[in-house]
Chains A and B, each alone.
Chain A
Amino acid sequence: MGLLAIGTPLEWPEAKKVASHVREWGIEQLLATWRRAKGKERDALLWGDEVEYLVVCYDDQNKKVRLSLRQADILAALASDEKLLKQGGGVPDVQRGQVKEGETAPVFHPEFGRFMLEATPGKPWGIGFKDLLDVEPNMKWRRKIAKDHMDPTEYPITLTTFPRLGCGDCTTPTYPVSGEKLRSQFLPDEIANPHIRFPTLAANIRARRGRKVEVNVPVFHDKNTPWPFKDPTVNYDLHNWPEDDDVRNGAAKENHIYMDAMAFGMGSCCLQITFQAKNIEEGRKMYDQLSPLGPVLLALTAATPIYKGFLADTDVRWNQISRAVDDRTAEELGEKPLENDRWRIPKSRYASNSTYISQDPRLRKEYLDPDLVVDEDLKKRLVEGGMDDLLATHFAHLFIRDPIVVFNEDLKELDLSKVDHFENLQSTNWQHMRFKPPPPGNDTGWRVEFRPMEIQITDFENAAFSIFIVLITRVILSFDLNFYVPIQRTTENMETAHRRDAVLSEKFYFRKNPFPSRPIKATGSSASGSTTPLPVSRPPSPVGPVEDEYELMTVDEIINGQHPAADGFPGLIPLVENYLNSVNVDVETRCDLARYLDLIRKRADGTLWTGAKWMRHFVRGHPDYRFDSVVDERITYDLVKAAEQITRNEARDGLGAEMLGRRR
């Protein structure tokens, strides 16, 4: 999560004063990067996955499970383990060993939530098919290392959210709620990583917004759920902070679960994949082409059916994180006329992305967001600096935001060999795709991060989705596929993906024909010295209405293909199979990959359940559940225990077989 610079962070009123300063310097740093790296070529495919964990702590005697807030201790243990350091592992922010020629131990990172850990491979993966097969064992290794540096009562679980985060007695140790930074009536300030960056982030988002963040999730209406539902955990009589008025002013919506702190969103675990492109052009293409897949993969990985002790009526985490870091003012939100702020902003800093950036002739202007908000002055500076309009627009759009955490020490001198100011804005724009320029000081190339997927309970599933996305990028590049739809359709798809069981019951806008139009034979008038000159004037490719290019499809159709296959969308899995048939893959690798593809195929066609569906089913089948949407301490304890058992056994004992199928 961004850079962990040390210093004195400015409180919001001060930070706001220097916002333009930071943006301008950030743009200069971006231009310096761009000039340095725009010609970078022929970088290999390297990629990495990030797995995030919740650290839970069992109280077996009382059948309770709580979040452990020992992140710092666990990281300290990981960073000082000599054996681990020798293998190249550790905690890069603190201490890690040298990257090895051969196998390198994974590394760990702090996260926003003090109950979270993040782990990444010790060095990036390549495209060698053997590398792909190392992903799952490496993820298992990460979990084992993490577990080995925890207390016996603790376990690193990969649930997106802790089901009872924000209920009383949900952490160990316990702290009082309503602290100065978060001012949450459900969570203590100590829920966040104590590094000054994190509480400041939360406090300044709240301060900029002028009230607490407001996260309302529709509650699942079960047969005994009181209706209309008024979140019974909301305290309307608190008077510690001005923000305690929020709920008295209607912040908690009827029939919704109400939450009021950044940790409810940023405390979620995701599965993110980053790819290095061969050059900036390929990176821009991947950014665009992966974008329409985002909502589909969000629905397919759905794993978030519970919030603050209630079953929700949605299946994924996305919008909750979006709202939990939404720093827009009432003016920017359109609730008040614009007086002090510069513009209305339609989306949170955490949202589906709003730009296409590839210089691909297939990118029609109709695909772009007509209402995109752009800082025209910064865009002008980028264009003056030599950047093309499309990319300048992208960054000038990200830079409409204010920097949230600004360190006083960094404002003295502009250092063009650093990217701290650029990253300040870039890394607090949490869109579902991220385009990452090469960092200074090493040979890393242009990268694209795919961010929408939810973390899965088992390493098998996490490996499957990671590898699937990697293969999809290879398919896109090999077959020159075109998934463009107007970007507003992707925004709408993102909403669709939230609905309960969207994977089976909803439809998504998707491009009907992903193939390039017939290649015009390369022979032609330019063929000097050719013995068979066939002067070809490239006929203008027929361009129909944009609306005819896409239609609503089920996730099954997008993943497995439409019928009849001859005319319909071919399906992402058949495309991957076709790619694998075009390259040399050995038998054993192919069979292992088949296991992963099979999981995704069956999740899409409904043979196997998403994590969200499985958890719902578990709760509703629990003897203590009273069909009133309440997920109590005992149900949570059993659910987390079951998740751990599934993590260990991967349904070989039958538990979780609805999600994973029959495993050998």
Chain B
Amino acid sequence: MLWPRLARALIGKPLTDPAPPVPQDTVHALAERLAATARTRLGRSLAIREVDSGSCNGCELEVNALQNVAYDLERFGLRFVASPKHADVLLVTGPACRNMAEAMERALACTPEPRWVVAAGDCAVDGGVFKGSYAVHGGVGAVLPVDLLIPGCPPSPTQLLEGLLALLEAEARPPRKENRAGWIAPAGP
């Protein structure tokens, strides 16, 4: 039952969607944050550690959907890893819950530099609807230094993909000449 289907899949058309366009202004902004040494070290592939700092789990559904065959995240050199110690990117969803703050800080401390911190979803951007609660610090930026914000409630897999591809592009881009004088950016956040 399974083998004929696998064989058919080998010769059939892929189910994967074409890549979405990458927002160039985001790429420029990100590239300016990244030192040349960091660019060399990160290369054209990123290992992502997802950290849920208190989401409603809507963001997790969409982050998981990124790995289905329609989006096929790994074709871009992006992959999820099981530990922050193996990660280049912390992809953080949800408001920064007070009960999660220590775990967030520990995850960041375990992530080797150079690294990116991406806050995905409206809650991660500024606390979203949970802003002002006694139980949250606010957005992810209240606890961790954030490099990239991806809004949406939850952000769709396409929106997430655009953001993550912008990180890849930023790493591929050589520093522009006109920027070189003032280009010295911190190696990490």
Q: Do A and B come from one complex?
A: no
